[in-house]
Amino acid sequence: MPAPATTSRLTRRGIPVDPRLRVLALGTFVNRAGAGATLTTFALYFTRVVGLSAGQVGLALSVAAVVGMLAQVPLGHLGDTRGPREVMSVLTAAFGAVGLLFLVVRDFWTLTLVLAVVTALQNGGGAVRNGYIGRVAVGGSGVAFKAYLRAVTNLAMSLGAALGGVALWVDRPWAYLAVFAVDGVTGIVAGLVSLRLPHLSPAPARGAGEPRLAVLRDTPYVVVTLLTGIVAMHFVVMEIGIPLWVSQHTKAPTAIVAVLLVLNTVAVTLFQVRMTRGVDGVVESSRAMVHGALWIAAAFVVIATSGWLGPVGAAAVLVVGAAVHVVGEMRSSGGQWGVQMGLAPQERQGQYQGFAGLGFSLSNVVAPTLITLLCIEWGWPGWLVLAALVLGAALALRPVTAWAQRTRERYGALSATG
Percent of the chain with pLDDT strictly greater than 70: 93
Among 70-79, 85-94, 209-218, 350-359, the minimum mean pLDDT is found in 209-218
Q: State the Cα–Cα distance between residues 376 and 386, nearest whole angstrom.
A: 12
Provide the phi-psi class of 329: left if phi over 0, else alpha when psi is between -120 and 50, else beta.
alpha
For residue 411, pLDDT beyond 80: no
Q: Which range scores top for mean pLDDT: 163-167, 186-190, 354-358, 411-415?
A: 186-190
Q: State the Cα–Cα distance between residues 392 and 226, nearest whole angstrom.
A: 13
- For residue 209, the model assigns a pLDDT of 58
- For residue 27, the model assigns a pLDDT of 93
Mean pLDDT of the chain: 88
CA distances from 399 to 143, 292, 405, 406 (A): 21, 17, 10, 11
For residue 41, pLDDT beyond 90: no
**Which pLDDT band holds residue 2 (cuts at 50, 70, 90)?**
very low
Q: What domains sit in the chain, N to C, each tagged with a CATH number?
A: 17-194 (1.20.1250.20), 214-411 (1.20.1250.20)
Cα angle 280-236-276, degrees, rounded to a multiple of 5: 15
Torsion of CA 145, 360, 79, 341, to 10 degrees: 50
Q: Give pLDDT tens digits for 276-302.
A: 887 878 888 999 999 999 999 999 999
Q: State the Cα–Cα distance between residues 94 and 273, nearest whole angstrom.
A: 30
- For residue 1, the model assigns a pLDDT of 42
Average pLDDT over residues 295-310: 96
Q: State the Cα–Cα distance between residues 94 and 88, nearest whole angstrom.
A: 10
Q: Is 256 exposed, middle or buried (0-12, 13-18, 19+ CB in 10 A)?
A: buried
Query: How many Cα atoms are found within 13 Å in the side-chain-facing hemisphere of 375?
Result: 34
- For residue 139, the model assigns a pLDDT of 62
- For residue 204, the model assigns a pLDDT of 76
Residue 17 backbone phi and psi in degrees, to 5: -75, -40
- For residue 93, the model assigns a pLDDT of 96
- For residue 279, the model assigns a pLDDT of 80
Q: What is the pTM assigned to this prediction? A: 0.84
Would you say 133 and 100 are in contact if contact means Cβ atoms under 8 Å apart?
Answer: no
Q: State the Cα–Cα distance between residues 390 and 300, nearest whole angstrom.
A: 10
Q: Parallel, antiparallel, or unpaired for β 15-16 and 11-12?
A: antiparallel
Q: State the Cα–Cα distance between residues 110 and 306, nearest whole angstrom.
A: 44
Q: Among the residues of 195-255, which ranges form H helices?
A: 219-231, 233-236, 242-249
For residue 4, pLDDT beyond 60: no
CA distances from 65 to 9, 234, 238, 266, 363 (A): 37, 19, 20, 27, 12
**Which pLDDT band holds residue 16 (cuts at 50, 70, 90)?**
confident
C-beta atoms surrounding 201 within 10 Å: 10
Q: State the Cα–Cα distance between residues 213 and 384, nearest whole angstrom.
A: 38
Q: Give pLDDT tens digits for 96-148.
A: 999 999 999 999 999 999 999 999 999 999 999 999 998 887 666 888 888 89
Cα angle 118-87-142, degrees, rounded to a multiple of 5: 100
For residue 360, pLDDT beyond 70: yes
**Which pLDDT band holds residue 5 (cuts at 50, 70, 90)?**
very low
Q: Give pLDDT tens digits for 314-345.
A: 999 999 999 999 999 999 999 999 899 889 88
Structure-model confidence comparison of residues 197 and 409, the more confident one: 197
Q: Which range scores top for mean pLDDT: 231-240, 290-299, 409-418?
A: 290-299
- For residue 409, the model assigns a pLDDT of 66
> SS3 for 310-343, per residue?
CHHHHHHHHHHHHHHHHHHHHHHHHHHHHHHHHC
- For residue 8, the model assigns a pLDDT of 59
Cα angle 310-312-316, degrees, rounded to a multiple of 5: 115
Q: State the Cα–Cα distance between residues 119 and 368, nearest whole angstrom.
A: 20
Torsion of CA 188, 192, 194, 199, to 10 degrees: 140
